[in-house]
Structure 1
């Protein structure tokens, strides 16, 4: 059995201090050509809505017919055998979801895109393209990204990449949403307090053995949020070969990197660090296996610390901690 061949990936309960993207707001005036291109993109991304929900943070989520969501604009995203799901996430350990029950059955919540969103996304891709890598990958989590959203709020996110293609959330056709109540870029109202209450979210990524699609489930009960169609990924069509747990920070070369976790130099207490616990793999036989052969990796050790603790019993399982004060400036 090759332990590198991973059909399912379980990352259960990471503290909500995950990744931070440092950036600057503002920008130049759009050219006429850019403005016309953004208008074209808005018509593609913002679909007709059955109803709309505005959050307390100013985001507007349109309840779009399941089969009309942006993901199905991708020529390889065929809606065969997909299922609609009206489930919602459990209230503990973290309550998340649109108020009022979310969208009606048969529709899914899609955050309404504005021209400013497109401008920020373009700026983000220009600044950080070199940091995102070219690997074929799918990545969920939660982050603070003022460059992408124009705020400092903690949000759920998904990202996928296959060669030069890929994007965050629903900014391009790719990730297919099935949940009526939990958008993939929703704001988390509660986050961990350094030395105090720790807020967690469980992530479960697995490849469906019947159709090869890669599903994202949240919470201990594994509530389906959506999936990445198998056809998006040539290298992930059969299985995955590498799995990573942890956090990251990104900033432009002329700005210091932001803190991670509680911002402490050393991470030896989960009450003062970001952490992931109960990290596991499920192999090609769909059996849960320990993530024993892990390798620690950090690229700026003087600014961020990583502690792969190992197995610490039933509650923690195999867990790791990470964090640091930041302050690094790229060469």
Structure 2
């Protein structure tokens, strides 16, 4: 899943070598018996605690039918769906790195038995960091992002009333057509986040509806969020909303909605390894696409690892298609001391520093109406405060559509 890129040049590498996750994964310790892999959990084993992860997480193996998604009235009593056909043109490469190497909790060879999924345990401390129980695991509606089309809106977000804060964004996007999915490889770093009330993330957005109360989004990527997780590890995350972050949706599996089908990926768990400045570069591949038969939106993490799906009934506009796809980075600026935050985006370095120093997105694609994975038509890039964080796009034969982005936040050029 994680891939390693060797440094070739300071701008665009001519050749990139990737170490990718293998889908054949070695069996869990609790199923070392060759006859055990087809066994199911007995009732008394419905919740099975794994040992604590190196990052302090406790991962529980929960029966598929007992995951939060099935608390939803429209899912009660149902079974997870069979995975659909991938988009045409999607050819996962043979993966060479063991899957346990891309998340810290897998480092000791742990996994969950078939018929269960791994869920990061929510602790009392996690809840206490939230401003309220109702807001735990949710983005604030005050952080609603603005439209990136040329209609007079600024890229970024509305002002945060409580902290007088702003979202800062550097994004590449396509709009003006019907989109049925998106794919990208996203460079993973561990950016500095100044305080508990800020975050730094890199993700893709599948968007429909207006940027008002009816905004529908599906989101996936990596984030550093000390408020949500209690630490500064970059973590794989998902998000969804159907009403502009007001009442619906949540991060990861913290509410009913996303249906996880995979027993080897823990949503919300730390990603490892990460990229280093001037050293090894690692990225994760994400694919979100709409199943043409049932209309649900599926998520693939890495090369061929299906994580699960967002049922179509969760949405209004996204029941049909997306009208915009965005890729990029985002930070919250809480203006500590009245100055711009020093929270970093991506690697914490500007796009002009190029490969090995700046963060990147590569191989940007969308899914068309006929379930074909195609290169981005007319990729546009925008930066709302280029003195703080910036972005530079390009295209070549190795990376397809790509861009470098990020920055340090507060500096002499950042107002």
Could you say which TM-score interval applies, normalised by the shorter chain? 0.7 to 0.9
Three-state SS of the structure 2 residue aligned to 1:116 is helix
CA contact (8 A) 2:72 2:256 kept: yes
CA contact (8 A) 2:350 2:405 kept: no
Three-state SS of the structure 2 residue aligned to 1:206 is strand
CA contact (8 A) 2:102 2:273 kept: no
Deviation string, structure 1 residues 67-86 (Cα, Å, up to 9, x no partner): 110111122335356148xx
C-alpha distance in 1, partners of 2:407/2:278? 15
Match of 1:96 in 2: 102
Question: Which of residues 136, 140, 157 is equivalent to 2:220?
Answer: 140
Question: Which of residues 129, 135, 147 is equivalent to 1:120?
Answer: 129
Three-state SS of the structure 2 residue aligned to 1:105 is coil
Match of 1:82 in 2: 81
Structure 2: runs of 5 or more not aligned: 6-44, 84-93, 146-212
Return the offset for 1:301. Answer: 1.8
1:296 aligns with 2:381: yes
Deviation string, structure 1 residues 104-124 (Cα, Å, up to 9, x no partner): 110101111112212324467
1:202 aligns with 2:285: yes
C-alpha distance in 2, partners of 1:246/1:13? 19
Structure 1: runs of 5 or more not aligned: 1-11, 16-46
Structure 1 runs of 4+ with >6 Å offset: 12-15, 124-127
Q: TM-score, normalised by structure 1?
A: 0.77
Query: Which sits farther off after the overlay, 261-270 or 109-118?
Result: 261-270
Return the offset for 1:209. Answer: 1.1
Match of 1:312 in 2: 396
User: What do you get for the CA RMSD once the two structures are aligned?
Assistant: 3.0
Return the offset for 1:177. Answer: 1.1
Question: Which of residues 128, 134, 149 is equivalent to 2:229?
Answer: 149
Match of 2:173 in 1: none
C-alpha distance in 1, partners of 2:345/2:131? 25
Return the offset for 1:257. Answer: 4.5
C-alpha distance in 1, partners of 2:120/2:347? 30
CA contact (8 A) 1:249 1:257 kept: no
Query: Which sits farther off after the overlay, 48-57 or 317-326?
Result: 48-57
Q: How many equivalent pairs are there?
A: 282
C-alpha distance in 2, partners of 1:189/1:299? 30
Question: Which of residues 290, 305, 308 is equivalent to 1:223?
Answer: 305
Match of 2:405 in 1: 322
Match of 2:57 in 1: 59
Matches within 5 A, 1:278-289: 278-289=363-374
C-alpha distance in 2, partners of 1:121/1:142? 20
Three-state SS of the structure 1 residue aligned to 2:118 is strand
CA contact (8 A) 1:127 1:252 kept: no
C-alpha distance in 2, partners of 1:213/1:113? 27
C-alpha distance in 2, partners of 1:183/1:121? 22
Deviation string, structure 1 residues 2-41 (Cα, Å, up to 9, x no partner): xxxxxxxxxx9899xxxxxxxxxxxxxxxxxxxxxxxxxx
C-alpha distance in 2, partners of 1:93/1:316? 24
Which fold has the larger relative contact order, with Cα–Cα distance below 8 Å and residues 6 or more apart in sequence? 1
C-alpha distance in 2, partners of 1:58/1:264? 29
Match of 2:356 in 1: 271
Return the offset for 1:57. Answer: 1.4
Deviation string, structure 1 residues 142-174 (Cα, Å, up to 9, x no partner): 111111111011111111111121111111111
1:235 aligns with 2:317: yes
Return the offset for 1:268. Answer: 4.6
Return the offset for 1:90. Answer: 4.5
Query: Which sits farther off after the overlay, 267-276 or 174-183?
Result: 267-276
C-alpha distance in 2, partners of 1:155/1:228? 20
CA contact (8 A) 2:358 2:404 kept: yes
Three-state SS of the structure 2 residue aligned to 1:67 is helix
Question: Which of residues 177, 191, 195 is equivalent to 2:274?
Answer: 191
